[in-house]
Structure 1
C-alpha cells in the first residue's frame, strides 16, 4: 500500500479539480443571486415611488 499508483493520483487530481470547479460555480451563482436581490430591491423601491407618484396624479373619479 506504500506505492503511489499514478492512475490513483491522476484520479485524485481530477476529483479535486472537479470539486474546485463546482465550488467556483456555486460561488459565482451566489454572487449572481446577491446581485439579483439588490436589483430587485432597487426595482421595488423605484416601483413604490413611481406608484405613489402615479396615485397622486390620478383623479379619484377615474371610473366612468
Structure 2
C-alpha cells in the first residue's frame, strides 16, 4: 500500500513546495517594489530640492544682475553713437 501512497504524497509535497516558493517570491517582489517606489519618491524629493535651489540661484543672480539693465542702457547709448556716426 505504500507504493500508491508515495506518488500522492510526492505530489502533495511538490504542490506545497511550489506554493511556498511562490509565496516567498511574491513577498520578495513586494519588498523590492516597495523599495523601488521609496527610492523613486526620494529621487523626486531630491529633484524638487534641486529645482528649488536652481530657482533660488536664479533669483540671487537676478538680484545681483539688477544693475545689468544699466549695462544695456550703455549699450543702447553706444549703438546710438554708432548710429549717429553711420
Q: Return the TM-score normalized by structure 1.
A: 0.80
Q: Return the TM-score normalized by structure 2.
A: 0.62
**Matching residue of 1:27:** 38
Unaligned runs of 5+ in 1: none
Q: Kindly indicate whether residue 56 of structure 2 is the aligned counterpart of residue 45 of structure 1.
A: yes
What is the number of equivalent residue pairs in this alignment? 62
Report the structure number with the largest CA radius of gyration: 2
Over the residues paired in the alignment, what is the CA RMSD in angstroms?
1.8
Unaligned runs of 5+ in 2: 1-11, 80-86
Identify, as 1 or 2, the structure richer in helix. Answer: 2
